[in-house]
Amino acid sequence: MKPPPFEYDDPGTVEEALALLAEHGDDAKVLAGGQSLVPLLNFRLARPERLIDVNNVGELDYLRVGDGALRIGALVRHSALERSDEVAAAVPLLRETVRFVGHVQIRNRGTVGGSIAHADPAAELPVAMAALDARFHVRSSRGERVVGADELFVTHLTTSLEPDELLTEIEVPLPEPGTGWAFVEFARRHGDFALGGVAALLRLDDRGHCERAAIALLSAAPTPVRAREAEGFLLGRPLDEQTGREAAALAVADIRPSGDIHGSSEYRHGLIEALTRRALSAAADRAKEAA
Amino acid sequence: MARNGVIGSSVPRKEDESLLRGTALFVDDVARSGTLHACIVRSPFAHAKVASIETAAAEGAPGVEAVLTARDLPPGLRPIPMRMFTSGPLNDYLQHPLARDVVRYSGEPVAVVVAESRYAAEDAADLVEVEYEPLPVVLRPDDAVAPGAPLVHERPGSNRAGGFTIEWGDVDRVFAEAALVVEERIECGRHAAVPLETRGLVAEVDRLTGVLTVFGAAKIPHVNRRILASLLELPEERVRLVELHVGGGFGARGEFYPEDFLVPFCALRLERPVAWTEDRSEHLRACNHSREQVHDAALALDADGRFLALRDRFLNNTGGYVRTHGLVVPGMTAALLPGPYRWPAYRCEVNQVVTNKTPAGTYRAPGRYEANFVRERLIDIAAHRLGVDPVELRLRNLIDRSEMPYATGTHTDGHPVVYDSGDYSRLVGLTLERFDRTRWLAWKEEAVAPRRRGIGIALFVEKSGIGRWDYARVEITSDGGARVFSGGASVGQGLETVLAQICAEGLGVEYERISVVHGDTAVVPDGMGAFGSRATTLGGSAVFRSAARLRERVLELASEHLEIAASDLIVRGDRVVARGAESRSVTLAELHELSRPARVLDRGGEPFLSEHDYFLSEDMTFPYGVHCAAVEVDTETGEVELSGYTVGYDIGRAINPVLVDGQIVGGVAQGVGGALYEELTYDEEGQLVAGSFMDYLLPTAGEAPPVDVLVTEDAPTPRNPLGAKGAGEGGAAAAGAAIANAVADALGAEPTRLPLTPERIVELARGAAG
C-alpha cells in the first residue's frame, strides 16, 4: 500500500500547470483531491512517472453565478459546492447530488473537476452535469476548447482530454425558474458507489404538461447517459404516475449496465428503472409546487 | 463472597484515558533505531506450482537488506501447529511460513523482502520473479468434496481434511415417521473479523540478554511464545512476547500466522530490529477468514410441533490450510447446533474441507453464528408450514430450568456439553416484553408498497470460558495500592477495568488504586489469554482467588502490627481498619514497608504481600440469549432497514454492565455485517474480489441499528466463584438468524443464504410475489 516512485511538481498557476502538461503530459497524472488517484497509486494500479499537483493553483478555486450560468472552478471541493447557498439557490440539483458523494472527509478533499475528469460512471457529479447540459472548459498550452458531456465522457474512466489538457471550469446553464429536480440513487451503504442512480429535471407548461425533461442515468453504461427517448416521450404529457412508469421503462429499454459482485446487470436494470420512476415523481412534485 | 459493590457497577474504564488522549501505544507506534521493514511477497495465484523464484534483482534494489524464500528457512522447519481441537489427520494440511513447492491460495507468502523502509521493501517486492505453473482451482466446499475434484493437498489425497459425527437416537426412523420434515440447504457466506487495527510486529534481539523480543502480540501471548520458541528451536525463556494496546481481535488477530514466524526469524537472522505492519489489502487476503459453511439440514416434528430430531451434514470451508484452530469452528457448530431445545434424536456430520481460498479460523461466536442461522431458520420455516406462531413453536420445545444441568449429548473437543444453568422461557418472555412485540406487530401492518415489514426472533445458547484455566498474581504496591498480573489479554474489551473491579471486590482495595499488568511474557509467567469469552470468567476468577488469598495475608500482617485479631479487621480503601474502631488502622503503604525482607525474614515470614493462584473450571459456562429484529424491506431496491433490534442475554453476573452493553452492541453490528453486507467474494480463478474496503462492506454507524440491550442475571454459573458467564459473543451469535427470520416474515419467502444482498432480497420478493 505504498505508491511506486514518481516525480512530483506543484505548479502555482494554470500557465505553469499547462507548461508541465505540455512537457510531460504523456507520462503524468494530474493530482487534485486525490480521492481516486491516491488509492490507485497505493494499490500500484496506476504507475505514472510524474504527478502534477494542482492543489496550489488557487485561480481554479471559484464558484460564480452570473450571465445565466454557474461557473465552477475545477479545484472547487465537493464540500464547498455542498455548502454554497448561492449554488443551492441557482442549481438546487447540485446540492442534492453532491451529498451522495462519498463521506464528509471525501467531500472535504475531493474536487468537482477531479470527479469529472476521473469519469467514473458510478460517480454522481458527472451524471448531474449531464442532466444539466453542463459545458466543460478544457485548456492546454495550445488553447482552450469547450465540450459537452456527450463529447467529454468516452468510456469507463476515460475522457476525451488530451494528455496535455487540463479541465479548468464546469459551466452549468441555470435551469429556468419552475424547474423541478431530483437526484436519487441506491448504494449498499451510504457513501458507497451507487448500484444505480438518476438525475432528473422537469418543467411544466401552464397546462401542467411537461415542456422540458432531462434524465441522466448513473451506472447504467460506461459513461453517464441521457435517456433521450424517455425525455422525448415526456414532452407534452401530464406528469402522472402512469406517464412516469412508461418513461422509466423507456429510459432503461436500451441500457446494459455492467454487473459486479454487488449486483448483476439484470438487478441493476430493474433498480435503475425503479429509481427513474422515483426521480421523475420527485422532480414532478417539485415542478408542480413551483408552477 | 465479600461484596463491596464494585462488581456490578459501571465504573469508568481504566483503558480510556490513554486511548482518548492519543497516548496509547499500538505496535505501529513502536520505534526502534535501526529498524528494517518487511514486505511479504504473496502469491497472485490461488493454486500453482512454484517452479522457480529469482531474487537477485530484488536483492540489488536500493535499501534492500535481504530477500528470503522457503530455501532460506531452517531445514526441517515444521509447519505452524494447531493449538486446540487438534486432530491427527489434520497435520497433513498445516501451513509452512513460506510456500515451498505449491501455493494454495491467492495471498500465500512466498518470500520476504527486508529493506530500510516499507517503500523500498515494496519496490523490491515487485522485482522478485516467481515462476508459477497454475493448477486447477477449487473454491466451493461442495465442489471440493465432489469426485474428481482437484486436490488442494496432494499427499493426503482428499480435500476432506477431517471431521466427525455426533449422533444419538434413531434419526432415520424418526425422520421417516415424522408428521412434518423441513429440509433445506442453508449457506453462510464467508466473512471475517476485520479488526480496526491490522496485525503488526516489531521483533528485535535484546543485546543485553540475547532474548528475542516480539512486540505486537495479541490474544494469546504465552501460547504463541511456546509456538515461536519451538519453531525457532529456542528455549521459551529466550523468547519474549509483548502485548501493546490492541485495536480489536474478534478471534482473528493474535493467532499464530506465517508472519509471526517470519518477522522474528528475520530479526534473528539480520541482527536488526524488523518491523512489519500489515496493510488492509494484505489483511483481507492473509488474516483468517471465517463462517463459510454449507449445511444440508433437516428438522423433524410431530403434529403438535414438538421437535423430534435434528439432522445436519455440513461442510466448513477452511481454505488452503488448516491453521491453529484445527477443528474449532466446525466443532463448535456441531456442539452448539442443538441450542436451547430438547432433541430426542440428533445427527451432525462435520466435514472440515480445504479449498483454494484464504485459510479460515475463528470469528466472534465461531461456528455458532452459522449454527444458529441454520437451526433458527429451520424452526421458522417449520412454524410457517404448521401455521404456528414461531415464538410459540420455540416455547414448546425449550429445555426447562428444572432440567439443569442439562447434558445436550454433544461435545466440544471430546468434552461433553453440559449446560450449567438457565431459565430459557423466562428470558424469552422478558425479551419479547422489552422488544414490545405487540407494538411491532401493529407497525408491520402499516407498511406502504413497495416496502414491506417483518419481525424475527432467534434463540441461542452460547459457551464461554474455553481453555479451562488461567493465572493471576496480586500484590500490594509501595504506594498502598494493588497491582494485578493477569494471564489474560486485552483486545480492547476492557480487561484492565474488569480485572481491577474483581480485584477490588476480592481484596477490598479501592478500584482507583488498582493497576493491571498483562500480556508481557517476561512479567507474567503464564496465562491463556483472551478468546472464547474467557478473560473475565477464567482470568477474572484467577484474580478473585489471588485477591482473596492476598487479603488474608494483608489482614494477618496488619493483625500482628495492630495487635488486633485478623477476624476483627477489614481492608477498606487504602488501609486496614479495625471493625467498630476505625481510628485504629494501618495503611497498605505501611504494610508494604513492614513486609520488606529486612523486616520479616528474621521472624521467618515471607517477604512482600503478593499471592498468585491458578483457577481451573470444571467446565465451560453457557450464557443464553434472544435476538429480536424488526426490518423494513424495499422490494424494488433490496434495501433492508433495521428498524428495531433488541437483545436479551443472561450472563449470570455482569461485572461492568456498560462494558457488557458495549460487547453486545458491537457484536450485533458485526452480526449485521454478516447478515446483510460482508462477503469475501472470489472470482472463478480464486482471486478475492472483495479485497478492499470499497468492496468488503463493513457496516458503519449508518448501517448499525440502535440496539436495545437487556442483560439479566437470573442464572449465575456454579462453575466459577464470580457466577459470571462470558459476554463477548452473544451480540453476534444470532444476528444472522434473527435478521433472516425478520426478512422472511416481511417477504413471505424463506431466505437460506447469508448475506442477504439487495439482489437476493429483490429475487426473494419476486419469488414470493410470483
pLDDT digits (tens, 9 = 90+) for B648-704: 999 999 999 999 999 999 999 999 999 999 999 999 999 999 999 999 999 999 999
Query: Does position B87 have pLDDT exceeding 90, yes or no?
Result: no
Q: Residues A178-204: what's their mean pLDDT? A: 97
User: Which residue does chain A place closest to B637, by CA atoms?
Assistant: A271
Beta-carbon contacts below 8 Å between A and B: 69
How do residues B584-643 score in pLDDT, each as one tens digit?
A: 999 999 999 999 999 999 989 999 999 999 999 999 999 999 999 999 999 999 999 999
Query: Does position B582 have pLDDT exceeding 70, yes or no?
Result: yes
- The pLDDT assigned to A268 comes to 98
Q: Residues A268-275: what's their mean pLDDT? A: 98
**DSSP character for B341?**
B
Give contacts of A195 with chain B, Cβ < 8 Å: 758
Cross-chain residue pair B119–A2, CB shorter than 8 Å: yes
How do residues B199-222 score in pLDDT, each as one tens digit?
A: 999 999 999 999 999 999 999 999
Contacts of B62 (CB under 8 A, 6+ apart): B120, B123
Angle, helices B540-562/B495-507, rounded to nearest 10 degrees: 40
User: Which residue does chain B place closest to A2, by CA atoms?
Assistant: B119
Residues of B in CB contact (< 8 Å) with A are 118-119, 122-123, 126, 279-282, 450, 636-639, 677, 679, 681, 689-690, 692, 694-695, 697, 699-700, 702-703, 757-759, 762
List the single best residue of B119, B123, B637 to mutate versus A (max A Cβ within 10 A).
Answer: B637
Option in A2, A189, A264 nearest B697 (CB):
A189
Option in A1, A43, A188 nearest B758 (CB):
A188
Option in B280, B636, B702 nearest A189 (CB):
B702
How do residues A228-238 score in pLDDT, each as one tens digit?
A: 999 999 999 99
How do residues B442-454 score in pLDDT, each as one tens digit?
A: 999 999 999 999 9
User: Which residue does chain A place closest to B761, by CA atoms?
Assistant: A267
The residues facing B633 across adjacent strands are B452, B640
Cell of A140: 492546454
Query: Does position B328 have pLDDT exceeding 60, yes or no?
Result: yes
How do residues B724-744 score in pLDDT, each as one tens digit?
A: 999 999 999 999 999 999 999
Q: Residues A129-144: what's their mean pLDDT? A: 98
Residue A262 distance to chain B (closest CA, Å): 8
Q: Residues B335-339: what's their mean pLDDT? A: 98
User: Which residue does chain B place closest to A275, by CA atoms?
Assistant: B637
User: Which residue does chain A place closest to B280, by CA atoms?
Assistant: A1
Contacts of B408 (CB under 8 A, 6+ apart): B335, B338, B343, B417, B418, B419
Contacts of B286 (CB under 8 A, 6+ apart): B40, B42, B107, B109, B257, B259, B278, B358
Cross-chain residue pair B636–A271, CB shorter than 8 Å: yes
- Rounded distance, CA B31 to CA B93, Å? 37
Option in A1, A5, A267 nearest B762 (CB):
A267
Q: Residues B170-180: what's their mean pLDDT? A: 98
- The pLDDT assigned to B5 comes to 85
Confidence of residue B770 (pLDDT cuts 50, 70, 90): low
- Rounded distance, CA B184 to CA B375, Å? 10
Give contacts of A5 with chain B, Cβ < 8 Å: 123
192-251 in chain A: CB under 8 A from chain B: 192-193, 195
Average pLDDT value for chain A:
97
- The pLDDT assigned to B1 comes to 43
Residue B183 distance to chain A (closest CA, Å): 29
List the single best residue of A99, A241, A267, A269 to mutate versus B (max B Cβ within 10 A).
Answer: A267
Residue A53 distance to chain B (closest CA, Å): 21
Apex CA B706: angle with CA B704 and CA B712, to 5°?
A: 120
Q: Residues B310-327: what's their mean pLDDT? A: 98
Q: For residue B213, what is the enclosing H or E element?
A: strand B212-217
CA distance readout (Å), B283 to A7, A23, B42, B78, B374: 29, 40, 12, 24, 29
Q: Does A188 touch chain B (CB under 8 A)?
A: yes
Q: Residues A104-108: what's their mean pLDDT? A: 97
Q: Does A259 touch chain B (CB under 8 A)?
A: no
Give contacts of B700 with chain A, Cβ < 8 Å: 189-191
- The pLDDT assigned to B3 comes to 52
Cell of B52: 522457480
Cross-chain residue pair B679–A261, CB shorter than 8 Å: yes
For chain A, what is the total number of helices (H) and then of strands (E)? Answer: 12, 14
User: Which residue does chain B place closest to A47, by CA atoms?
Assistant: B123
Q: Does A45 touch chain B (CB under 8 A)?
A: no
Average pLDDT value for chain B:
97
- Rounded distance, CA A142 to CA A161, Å? 13
Give contacts of B769 with chain A, Cβ < 8 Å: none
- The pLDDT assigned to B413 comes to 86
User: Which residue does chain B place closest to A195, by CA atoms?
Assistant: B637
- The pLDDT assigned to B4 comes to 67
- The pLDDT assigned to B424 comes to 98
Cross-chain residue pair A195–B758, CB shorter than 8 Å: yes
User: Which residue does chain A place closest to B121, by CA atoms?
Assistant: A2
Give contacts of A100 with chain B, Cβ < 8 Å: none
Q: Residues B56-72: what's their mean pLDDT? A: 98
Option in B123, B280, B703 nearest A189 (CB):
B703
How do residues B368-395 score in pLDDT, each as one tens digit?
A: 999 999 999 999 999 999 999 999 999 9
Give contacts of A192 with chain B, Cβ < 8 Å: 694, 697
Q: Does A43 touch chain B (CB under 8 A)?
A: yes
- Rounded distance, CA A4 to CA A12, Å? 25
User: Which residue does chain A place closest to B124, by CA atoms?
Assistant: A4
Give contacts of A189 with chain B, Cβ < 8 Å: 677, 697, 699-700, 702-703
- The pLDDT assigned to A93 comes to 98
List the single best residue of B37, B639, B683, B759 to mutate versus A (max A Cβ within 10 A).
Answer: B759
Contact B716, B653 (CB under 8 A): yes
The larger pLDDT score, comparing residue B180 to residue B533, is at B180
Confidence of residue B499 (pLDDT cuts 50, 70, 90): very high
- The pLDDT assigned to B616 comes to 95
User: Which residue does chain B place closest to A185, by CA atoms?
Assistant: B637
Give contacts of B695 with chain A, Cβ < 8 Å: 261-262
Beta strands in B529-678 (DSSP E): 569-572, 575-578, 581-587, 610-616, 624-634, 640-650
